Homo-oligomer: A and B are copies of this chain.
Amino acid sequence: MTAVELIRRKRDGGELSTEAIRSFIRGVADGSLPDYQASAMLMAITWRGLTPRELGDWTEAMLRSGEVLDLHDLPGVKPGLVVDKHSTGGVGDKVSLCLAPLVAACGVRVPMIAGRGLGHTGGTIDKLEAIPGFRTDLSRARFKEVLAEVGCCVIGQTDWIAPADRRLYALRDVTGTVESIPLIAASIMSKKLAEGLSGLVLDVKVGGGAFMKDRDAALELARTLVGIGGRTGLPTRAVLTAMDQPLGRAVGNALEVLEAWEVLCGAGPDDVRELTLVLGAEMLALAGMGTAAEAQVELVDALRDGRARRKFLEMVRAQGGDASAIPDGLPRTGATEEVCAAADGFIVGIDAELVGEAAVALGAGRRAVADRVDPAVGIVLDRKVGAPVRRGDRLCAIHVQDGSNPLEAKAKVSAAFHLGPTPIAALPLVLGRV
Partner of A40, one of B5, B8, B11, B42: B42
A39 and B179 CA atoms in complex are apart in Å by 17
Give how many copies assemble into the complex. 2
Residue contact B4 to A37, C-beta cutoff 8 Å:
no
Residue contact A40 to B39, C-beta cutoff 8 Å:
yes
**Which B residue's beta carbon lies closest to that of A171?**
B36
Residue contact B37 to A174, C-beta cutoff 8 Å:
yes
Binds B, one of A43-51, A249-257, A315-323, A326-334: A43-51
Q: How far is the CB of A183 from chain B (nearest CB, A)?
A: 13
Q: How far is the CB of A10 from chain B (nearest CB, A)?
A: 8
A44 and B47 CA atoms in complex are apart in Å by 8
Partner of A176, one of B7, B42, B174: B7
Q: Mark A24-62, 1 if CB is under 8 A from B, else 0.
A: 000000000011111110111011000000000000000
Q: How far is the CB of A282 from chain B (nearest CB, A)?
A: 34
Residue contact A11 to B171, C-beta cutoff 8 Å:
no
Chain A interface size band reads 20 to 34
Most buried by B among A39, A44, A46: A39
Most buried by B among A37, A39, A40, A173: A40
**Residue A224 is within 8 A (CB to CB) of chain B in the complex:** no
Contact A4 B43, CB 8 Å, known A34-B35, A36-B38: no
A-B contact list, 7 entries, CB within 8 Å: A11-B176, A34-B35, A36-B36, A36-B174, A39-B40, A40-B176, A44-B47
A44 and B45 CA atoms in complex are apart in Å by 11
Please, which residues of chain B bring their CB within 8 A of the CB of A37? 39, 174-175
Q: Mark A1-19, 1 if CB is under 8 A from B, else 0.
A: 0011101100100000000
Q: How far is the CB of A265 from chain B (nearest CB, A)?
A: 44
**Residue A414 is within 8 A (CB to CB) of chain B in the complex:** no
A175 and B37 CA atoms in complex are apart in Å by 5
Partner of A11, one of B4, B5, B11, B46: B46
Please, which residues of chain B bring their CB within 8 A of the CB of A35? 34-36
Partner of A175, one of B40, B46, B171: B40
Partner of A39, one of B39, B47, B173: B39
Residue contact B176 to A8, C-beta cutoff 8 Å:
yes
A42 and B8 CA atoms in complex are apart in Å by 13
Q: How far is the CB of A3 from chain B (nearest CB, A)?
A: 8
Please, which residues of chain B bring their CB within 8 A of the CB of A36? 35-36, 38-39, 171, 174-175
Partner of A177, one of B40, B175, B176: B40
Contact A175 B47, CB 8 Å, known A36-B36, A40-B39, A40-B42: no
Contact A175 B42, CB 8 Å, known A36-B36, A47-B47: no
A44 and B295 CA atoms in complex are apart in Å by 48
Q: How far is the CB of A407 from chain B (nearest CB, A)?
A: 24
**Which B residue's beta carbon lies closest to that of A174?**
B4
Known A-B contacts: A5-B176, A7-B175, A43-B43. Give 19 more (CB < 8 A). A4-B173, A4-B176, A7-B43, A8-B179, A11-B43, A11-B47, A11-B177, A34-B35, A35-B35, A36-B36, A36-B171, A37-B174, A39-B39, A40-B40, A40-B42, A40-B43, A40-B177, A43-B44, A44-B47
